[in-house]
Amino acid sequence: MKILAIETSCDETAISVIEASGTIDAAQFSVRGNALYSQAQKHAAYGGVYPSLAKREHATNLVPLLTTALRDAGIYFPHHTTLPEDTATHLHTLLQREEGLYDSLVRTLSSIERPPLDAIAVTYGPGLEPALWVGINFARALGYVWDIPLIPVHHLEGHIVASTVVADQNHPTLYTMTPVSFPTLSLVISGGHTEFIYAPSWGTYTVVGGTRDDSVGEAFDKVARLLDIPYPGGAGLSTLAHKYRITHATKPVTPNLVKKTLPRPMMHTNDLDLSFSGLKTAVLYWVRDIGTLTDPMRQYIAAEFEDAVTDVLLTKISKAVHIHKPQTFLLGGGVSANTYLRTRLFQHFSHEGIEVPVRVPAEGLSTDNAIMIGMAGYLIHLRDVPFLNPQDELRAQGNARIDEQPSFR
Ligand code: KG4
Ligand code: ZN
């Protein structure tokens, strides 16, 4: 089946067209169109995502991205169409809070044929409320005009599904799900979340631990900012840390570096809770004490921070695996793109003799994207969750809190 997928939960506006086939443990996904616009640079001045700016940017970019995704998928057929007056009125009501979206959408809908799509998968939560609503109302509008059913997707289920697929070496846009043995334990680490999620089967999720304050991604971004790396600084911080490690492997530590070991908050508590705000504050004081940072110092601090986070995560992952005895461990979310963490995770399992298979997302699927939303949408469809009529209230399914979601407890 052909699925149009829409993701607007944070500062990435993304639309994909995927062709999905196969069974729930061996599904295949061919990405036919994938248009993604990252607003990161626009938010950089604020040092984080500014919700009303995110909403405005989504409203501006959704239609151009839709056009690109349909074109790439070869299902953009120019054709003059006149929208019936009552349809236009309905769209107007639906999109009244999404500045400019009504006009650009009506212009596009009046100039193309209904594309051959079987469903529209859209992230309904969790995320930034104003940002989510743009995507939801956009999906409802398309579903209404084209009479295509909607599949509401939980953003974290998207991240979880993304770690179960592998890309074909010869056809990088073709992904195959590798069979997953249940129960699974996932650790989703992103800008908005840091959660251990236990699942006895697809679609049944229980949050069994997580951060009490900042998410891992937030900690990376805040520390990156202290080191003058623009938002979102996770990947940039990791690059600095890598520079330190390769230099340090051959040369002694720069003599005037203020050596320090950062705290590993909550690393040895008996629960699966985590905390990162104290770690960020420790870096803040450290940087303040040093005064002017040289490049080698920034690299050293980045490496020390990345080590502290990795040590905490690995210790808690061991604990989580010991308690919940999963058959598969899945790492997902934006921070799962971190190469150092991935490498140490595999080393850690092997060193500790943990025989649980580990899965991490294929390249490009760690950070927010619409492909993972389409994939999760297909699995939801295979679970026989009834499609929603585009008229129905998508968010009646729950609001942005994970513990209130129908399938997340
Ligand atoms: O999953 P995601 O795209 O958005 C949310 O759902 O929140 O995650 C974004 C987060 C940002 O905090 C970003 O700095 C972080 O993922 N990130 C990384 C890396 N790549 C992205 N953090 C550490 N190392 C990376 N390589
Ligand atoms: Zn995300």
pLDDT tens readout for residues 248-263? 877 766 667 788 999 9
Is 406 in contact with 125 (CB distance < 8 Å)? Answer: no
What's the gap in Å between 294 CA and the centre of ligand 2?
A: 33
pLDDT tens digits for 298-334? 999 999 999 999 999 999 999 999 999 999 999 999 9
pTM, entire model: 0.95
**Span between the terminal Cα atoms of the chain, in Å:** 29
The pLDDT value given to residue 393? 60
pLDDT band at 45 (very low <50, low <70, confident <90, very high): confident
pLDDT band at 135 (very low <50, low <70, confident <90, very high): very high
Closest to 378 (Cα-Cα) out of 31, 13, 68 = 31
Residue 405 has pLDDT above 90, yes or no: no
Tell how far CA 210 is from the center of its chain.
16
Q: Residue 133 is inside which H or E element, if any?
A: helix 129-146
Tell how far CA 92 is from the center of its chain.
30
**In the chain, what percentage of residues exceed pLDDT 90?**
88
Q: Given ligand 1 and candidates 38, 123, 190, which is best to mutate, with the most ligand atoms within 8 Å of its CB?
A: 190
- Take atom 20 of ligand 1 and give the residue whose Cα is closest: 235
Give the residue-averaged pLDDT of 158-184.
97
Q: Lowest-pLDDT range, 72-76, 241-245, 293-297, 388-392?
A: 388-392
The pLDDT value given to residue 257? 74
Give the residue-averaged pLDDT of 48-74.
96
Ligand 1 neighbours by CB, cut-off 6 Å: 10, 190-192, 217, 220-221, 232-235, 238, 333-335, 337-338, 367-368
Structure tokens at 105: 């959408």
The pLDDT value given to residue 330? 98
What's the gap in Å between 180 CA and the centre of ligand 1?
A: 24
The pLDDT value given to residue 191? 96
> In whole angstroms, what is the distance from residue 108 CA to residue 365 CA?
29
The protein residues having their C-beta less than 5 angstroms from ligand 2 (an ion) are: 190, 368
Torsional sign, CA 224, 228, 230, 231: positive
Residue 388 has pLDDT above 90, yes or no: no
Closest to 210 (Cα-Cα) out of 196, 199, 220 = 196
DSSP string, 343-379: HHHHHHHHHHT----EE-PPTT-SSS-SHHHHHHHHH
What's the gap in Å between 367 CA and the centre of ligand 1?
A: 6
Q: In the chain, what is the greatest distance between 2 CA atoms, to the nearest angstrom?
A: 74
What's the gap in Å between 91 CA and the centre of ligand 1?
A: 34
pLDDT tens digits for 361-387? 999 999 999 999 999 999 999 998 767
Per DSSP, which regions of 246-375 are E strands?
328-332, 358-359
Residue 400 has pLDDT above 50, yes or no: no
Is 155 in contact with 177 (CB distance < 8 Å)? Answer: no
Q: Tell me how far CA of residue 287 lies from CA of 188, 223, 227, 357, in angstroms.
A: 29, 10, 8, 39
What's the gap in Å between 80 CA and the centre of ligand 2?
A: 37
> In whole angstroms, what is the distance from residue 215 CA to residue 201 CA?
26
What is the DSSP secondary structure assignment for residue 98, as one 8-state letter?
S
The pLDDT value given to residue 252? 67
The pLDDT value given to residue 248? 82
> In whole angstroms, what is the distance from residue 168 CA to residue 172 CA?
5
Give the residue-averaged pLDDT of 71-95.
95
> In whole angstroms, what is the distance from residue 349 CA to residue 315 CA?
11
